A and B are shown apart, each in its own frame.
Chain A
Amino acid sequence: AQSVTQPDIHITVSEGASLELRCNYSYGATPYLFWYVQSPGQGLQLLLKYFSGDTLVQGIKGFEAEFKRSQSSFNLRKPSVHWSDAAEYFCAVGARGNFNKFYFGSGTKLNVKP
């Protein structure tokens, strides 16, 4: 069965520090992988996605993610966090044949210290 694990419920980093949010998935085939962000009072916004090809994916707002098949991981990174990055981040797998049918992780809340 498909599943997504985000092991960190809350993370706090200082502004300007680097960030890595972890995501592990379980899926029977090569997955479609996504990271979404939800800022307070907003809907989910797509940061980046991986379907195939280069395993290092660039997204919006300076984020990137790396697909590692051997580790079943798709970790999200940012070299320098800004206070506006404080939000909740969701990793998701898209179903084959209906890639916007997502299996989401439970989310990671990011706090940014000044």
Chain B
Amino acid sequence: EAGVTQFPSHSVIEKGQTVTLRCDPISGHDNLYWYRRVMGKEIKFLLHFVKESKQDESGMPNNRFLAERTGGTYSTLKVQPAELEDSGVYFCASSQAGTVNTEAFFGQGTRLTVV
């Protein structure tokens, strides 16, 4: 069974450009999470989808970030326009709906560099 897959693995863009990150969760996982790690600091929660609905977007830093999960399958995270402080590693995780014993599985992350 395929794990959580993120595309691209690396992206280098100029300040002011737009970048779209993609996450393909494990098939059948209703929950999808986005996290970000900036400059070797802690990994921070961005938002949580349950199927196609945003359950919690309290961690989204500002309105330059737009996350979607059309059809409840893969998700995209768009940054427009990108700023230097957006550089970091963006992680996606997915989990089944259910009880406390549901494990979250993480992708390998997308390293975004804004120059």
Q: Which residues of A contact B (CB under 8 A)?
A: 4, 32, 36, 41-46, 51, 90, 98-107
Residues of A within 8 A of B93 (CB): 44, 100
Q: Which residues of B contact A (CB under 8 A)?
A: 3-4, 31, 33, 35, 40-45, 48, 55-56, 91, 93, 95, 100-109
In this complex, what residue of A is CB-closest to B3?
A43
B48 and A44: CB pair below 8 A? no
A102 and B108: CB pair below 8 A? no
**In the bound complex, CA of A44 to CA of B102 (Å):** 16
A101 and B91: CB pair below 8 A? no
A100 and B95: CB pair below 8 A? yes
B107 and A101: CB pair below 8 A? no
Choose among A4, A44, A105, A107 the residue that contacts B91 (Cβ–Cβ < 8 A). A44
B44 and A104: CB pair below 8 A? yes
B35 and A102: CB pair below 8 A? yes
Residues of B within 8 A of A99 (CB): 100, 102
A46 and B104: CB pair below 8 A? yes
In this complex, what residue of B is CB-closest to A45?
B106
**In the bound complex, CA of A65 to CA of B79 (Å):** 38
Decide yes or no: A100 and B106 within 8 Å by CB, A4-B42, A107-B42 being known contacts.
Answer: no
A interface, by DSSP: helix, strand, loop or mixed?
Answer: strand
In this complex, what residue of A is CB-closest to B89?
A38
Instruction: Count chain A CB atoms within 10 A of each CB in B4, B43, B103, B105 and give the residue with the most.
Output: B43
Choose among A43, A90, A101, A107 the residue that contacts B45 (Cβ–Cβ < 8 A). A101
Tell me the smallest distance from the CB of A61 to a CB of chain B, in Å.
15
**Known pairs A43-B107, A102-B35, A102-B43 / 5 extra A-B pairs, C-beta < 8 Å:** A43-B105, A44-B106, A51-B100, A102-B104, A107-B43
Decide yes or no: A103 and B45 within 8 Å by CB, A32-B100, A43-B91, A98-B56 being known contacts.
Answer: yes
**In the bound complex, CA of A44 to CA of B105 (Å):** 8
Residues of B within 8 A of A51 (CB): 100-101
A43 and B106: CB pair below 8 A? yes
**In the bound complex, CA of A51 to CA of B103 (Å):** 12
